[in-house]
Chain A
Amino acid sequence: MTRRSRFELAVLLGLGVFFLLVPQFVESRFWLGFWTTTLFFALLGQSWNVLGGYAGQMSFGHALFFGTGAYATAVMQVRFGLDAWTSAALGVGAGALVGAFTGAVTFRYGLRGSYFALVTLAFAEVFRALANSWEFTGSGFGMLIPMKAGAANLQFADRVSFYYVILLLVVLAYAVTWWLERSRFGAYLTAIRENEDAAQALGINPFRMKVAAITLSAAMAALAGIFYMQFYLFIDAGIAYGPGMSVNALLGPLIGGAGTVLGPLIGALALGGLSEVTSALLGQQPGVNLLAFGLLLLIILRFLPNGLMGLLHGRS
């Protein structure tokens, strides 16, 4: 294990212990909500990071996978009467399937860079329009899961349990990413990101690797969607597939540092903190948070192209 690996592992473990203890010293409902939201964005950001950070395929439509996970789990429970656990598993499957399909279609025809970004956005918009007009998915009203607290229904009356659920999911996602960074698969993805033609010349099959990456990424985003669904018990087309969620997915890793294990978490923490500061200074008016996020993104792109993690690792 290299020095950097050891350092990162120590930071990850330290953060893990910190997050494990959060409910012990957080008294108010508000701050527990803050940490839950931050972890949720850390999960969503990591899903984007697998595809955008490691494989270098920036998606502008990650809401596509998030929304599919959320809608699938809701539809299974409400329309087919399946239990929450089976629905959640099917939700992850549905997200991965949509990811594999999107990837197969777009990568088959060689879309790269900005074109890939725009096509993912267009796919998300198609799904948004469909979900918004199809009776089956609740059309304009959205989907509502009836409240039935209990672990069997993946619903919890107290917010602390929900906090531990999202923490568990985040730990899982970050463990997968940690493995990815050190695996052969991860090395292939990085090679494709740096120079796709050279990677192909070395015998890597970029198409298969990229489809695998988008499938994994989509499954993780779907997981975030399922958590969202079980937490709020409500989703509509605008939340699920709107550009807002896609932007949320990419802001964290870009600000924290794309292509690093910790980047999305650091980014989520920075954005969560910034959002509290702006609310305190300028009030709760809508738009203030994202306005600050946009400015922060510009500043990061200008001075820290490797994100906040670039500070840690020095300039590369």
Chain B
Amino acid sequence: MGAVYALVALGLALIYGVLHIINFAHGSLLMMALYATYFLFRLGGIDPYVSLLIVPPLFFALGYAMQRWVIQPIGHGKDTNVLLVTLAIAIILDNLALYLWTSTTRTIDVPYATNYVDVGVTAVALPRLIAFGAAVLIGILFWLLMSRTDLGRAIRAVARERQGAKIVGISVEHIFAMSFGIGAACVAIAACLLLPTFYVTPQVGHAFVLIAFTTVVLGGMGSFIGALLGGLILGVVEAFSGLFLGESLGQIGIYLIFILVLLFRPTGLFGQRMA
């Protein structure tokens, strides 16, 4: 699970780091991506891993459009306003899913879901191992994108100094939307990796939204390496607190970490000063 948390959080960290907004609709985007992957499998017979070629580009476009034509004009750039806009989007997406697809819990059956791989100390389900490998791969690709390409440089420039970036001719609105799109694509990748061993309901995003925030906060707001490590740490914490405290109390570990980190170390483990 940690690897998936890391991917979801990576998208959130990018959006936060560049736009300085907290995207409350992140969990709902994950839910939508899970449904997209689900229906591609059920109606089109497309394997979730093949969907990796379809869903992420789709969500990149969706994220780009959402930021450029909904969040940007309505939010007026004010912190709490933007939070409310993303909350409204979350409400709309969650209830649209509830309306269209009802609250039934849906799963898919893939033959490899129960294949276990021996990794020395313990056996791990194959899809989980793939998810872990993919998260590491995406992390490396992401790092290359940010450090080696013009787009990455432009994103970093906008994140650092909005005005300056504008002066040297970077379209800030475009970069904002690009960042949002990439963040949404990260979520879509996570969804494709998650579905073989998970389920989808209209509320599935709720569980992830706080976990993703916790991950980002834990890793340091806006720090990408922090987000990846934070995700892995949280996966371990959840597994252990679930083990010792039981199913329903296990979640508390994550919420408590979130509260404690925000209170006592708002810069996170790897972050710079909070804005």
Residues of A with Cβ closer than 8 Å to B? Answer: 58, 60, 105-106, 109, 111, 113-115, 117-119, 121-123, 125-126, 129-130, 132-133, 140, 243, 247, 254, 285-291, 293-295, 297-298, 301-302, 305
Contacts and interface: CB of A to CB of B under 8 A. Distances in A.
Contact of A305 (B76, B98, B206, B213): B76
Contacts of A289: 95
Interface string B90-111: 1110111111001100000000
B263 A294 contact: no
A126 B213 CA distance: 15
A287 B79 contact: no
Contacts of A133: 246, 248-249
B96 A291 contact: yes
B256 interface: yes
B231 interface: no
B249 A115 contact: no
B154 interface: no
A60 B206 CA distance: 13
Interface stretch (B80-88, B144-152, B180-188, B190-198): B80-88
A290 B28 CA distance: 14
A301 B262 contact: no
A271 to B, nearest CB: 12
Contacts of B90: 294
B210 A286 contact: no
A290 B88 CA distance: 10
Contacts of A117: 80, 83
Could you tell me the dominant secondary structure of chain B's interface residues? Answer: helix
A64 to B, nearest CB: 12
A118 B73 CA distance: 23
Nearest to A242: B206
B85 A301 contact: yes
Interface string B199-218: 00010001000100100000
B252 A301 contact: no
Given A290-B98, A298-B85, 14 more contacts: A58-B84, A114-B22, A117-B83, A123-B259, A125-B255, A140-B248, A287-B99, A288-B95, A291-B96, A294-B89, A294-B90, A298-B88, A301-B74, A301-B81
A287 B210 contact: no
B266 interface: yes
Given A111-B263, A287-B96, A291-B96, A129 B252 contact: yes
A247 to B, nearest CB: 7
B73 A288 contact: no
B91 A302 contact: no
A295 B98 CA distance: 15
Of A119, A126, A140, A294, which is in contact with the most chain B CB atoms at under 10 Å from its CB? A294
Nearest to B247: A133
Contacts of A291: 91-92, 95-96, 99
Contact of A60 (B87, B103, B249): B87
A286 B98 contact: yes
Contact of A295 (B92, B252, B262, B263): B92
Contacts of B83: 58, 113-114, 117
Interface in B242-275: 246, 248-249, 251-252, 255-256, 258-259, 262-264, 266
Nearest to B207: A125
Contact of B206 (A119, A243, A286): A243
A133 B81 CA distance: 35
Given A121-B210, A243-B206, A286-B103, A129 B248 contact: yes
Contacts of B251: 125, 129
Given A60-B87, A133-B249, A287-B95, A111 B81 contact: no
- The 5 A-B residue pairs whose C-beta atoms are closest, nearest first, are A287-B98, A294-B91, A294-B92, A287-B99, A287-B95
Given A114-B80, A129-B252, A301-B81, A288 B263 contact: no
B74 A106 contact: no
Contact of B263 (A109, A113, A125, A287): A109
Nearest to B98: A287
A286 B99 contact: yes
B230 to A, nearest CB: 15
Nearest to B265: A109
Nearest to B91: A294
A115 B259 CA distance: 10
Interface in B22-79: 22, 70, 73-76, 79
Given A129-B249, A129-B255, A133-B246, A114 B92 contact: no
Contact of A118 (B22, B81, B88, B97): B22
Contacts of B256: 126
A182 to B, nearest CB: 25
Contacts of A109: 262-264, 266
B83 to A, nearest CB: 5
B152 to A, nearest CB: 26
A297 B91 contact: yes
A305 B76 CA distance: 10
Given A286-B99, A287-B99, A118 B263 contact: no
Contacts of B95: 287-291, 294
Nearest to B82: A114
